Amino acid sequence: MGAMRAIWISSLLAASLAAFSITGCTIYGEKKPPTLKSTTSAEQYERIYWSTVKAKKWEQLPGMLAANVMYSVEWGNINQMVRTNVASNTLIAGDHVVVTGSAPRDPADHRLSIITDIRRPSDGWHWSRTMDQPGTLPIR
């Protein structure tokens, strides 16, 4: 009886190994859900945000809001600013401005470069990159 049982178990084991190797079945690990650090698109970021709201994880929401993120802006050098009539006292620390520019692909890197437009809503001041400024490529 014991020998028969050992033969049956070994044949079952051999059959299961053969089935996995013949069919080429591969077992993949589960895909991890995206996190704020791994996301690269605004749409995916928005999905994470709303899934957090749906799960009622209120303590995580303040860190996801744009008002809590500080960006550094890489504008031009002082010579470029003087040529475009931007003086050293045009913008003062604490001014509320709306900046349009290119963000890097890394969501953890809070830097704006290639600035195309800056507006100060309080007094209507506006700066915009024109085609004759250095470093501007023509749009085709």
**139 — pLDDT class (breaks 50, 70, 90):** very low
- Partners of residue 73 on adjacent β-strands: 112
Q: Flag whether pLDDT at 43 surpasses 80.
A: no
What are the structural domain ranges in the chain? 70-131
Name the average pLDDT for the chain: 76
Q: Flag whether pLDDT at 50 surpasses 70.
A: yes
Q: How many C-beta atoms lie closer than 10 Å to residue 118's C-beta?
A: 20
**136 — pLDDT class (breaks 50, 70, 90):** very low
Q: What pTM was computed for the model?
A: 0.45
